[in-house]
Amino acid sequence: MYRKISIQRDDFDVGREWSELRAALAERVGAMAAFCGLVRDQYEENRVSNLELEHYPGMTEKSIDSIIDRAGARWPLDAVVVIHRVGALAPREQIVLVLATSSHRQAALEACTFVIDLLKTEAVFWKREVLPSGARWIESTNADRQRSTDWRR
C-alpha cells in the first residue's frame, strides 16, 4: 500500500494532492475518498482567534503510521495520504487532509472516516485555542473518544 505522511507548517493544496495521488494509482483503483478539516471559528460560546498545534517530531509520524497500518489491515486499500499541519492557524484555515483509495467506494469512504476518527484520539498532537479571554489547551471530547472506541467493535 502506498502511503504518505506529512507534518508541516505550510498550507497544502487539496487539488494538487488529489491529482498527484490519482496519477500514481494502479488501474484497478476505482474510488478515492477525501476529508479535509478546517479550523473552527467558534468553540462553545467563544470566538477563537487562533489555534496552535504542537507535535512530537518522530513520534507523531509513527502514531499516524500505526493508524494507517490498522486501516490497511481492515480494508483493501491502495493508498492513504495524511497531511497534518502544526504551528499557528487562523479560523477557516485547512488543518488536516486524509485521502484513501480502494477498488470500491465503501472501503475508501470507511477507511477515510476511520483514519480521521483515530487521528482525533491517537495521533500525537496538542491543540491550544487562543480565545479573547486567554489561551487554553483543548481536551478531546467524549464524542471523539466514543467514535474512536466504536471502531474497536
Partner 1 sequence: MAIKVRFFAALREQVGRDVVEVRAPTSGDIAGLLANMREQLGEAVVAGLTAPNVRVALNREFVNGDCAVRDGDEVAFMPPITGG
Show the CA angle centred on residue 152, arms to residues 148 and 153, nearest 5°. Answer: 125
Largest pairwise CA distance in the chain:
53
Q: State in angstroms the smallest separation of the CB of 145 from partner 1.
A: 10
Nearer to partner 1, 20 or 54 (CB): 54
Q: Does 121 bind partner 1 (CB under 8 A)?
A: yes
Q: State in angstroms the smallest separation of the CB of 150 from partner 1.
A: 15
Instruction: Specify whether the CB–CB gap between 108 and 100 falls below 8 A.
Output: yes
Q: Does 122 bind partner 1 (CB under 8 A)?
A: yes
Tallying the residues shown for the chain, one arrives at 153
Q: Does 12 bind partner 1 (CB under 8 A)?
A: no
Q: State in angstroms the smallest separation of the CB of 92 from partner 1.
A: 16
Nearest to 79 by CA among 148, 12, 33: 33
Within 10 angstroms of residue 115's Cβ, the number of other Cβ atoms is: 25
Instruction: Specify whether the CB–CB gap between 120 and 142 falls below 8 A.
Output: no
Q: Which of residues 49-108 bind partner 1 (CB under 8 A)?
A: 54, 56, 58-59, 62, 84, 95-96
Between CA 150 and CA 75 the distance in angstroms is 16
Identified binder of partner 1 from the candidate list 128, 130, 131, 151, rule CB under 8 A: 128
Specify whether the backbone of 42 is left (phi greater than 0), alpha (psi in -120 to 50) or beta. Answer: beta
Region near partner 1 per CB under 8 A, out of 8-16, 25-33, 104-112, 113-121: 113-121
The residues binding partner 1 (CB under 8 A) are 37, 54, 56, 58-59, 62, 84, 95-96, 116, 119-128, 137-140, 144
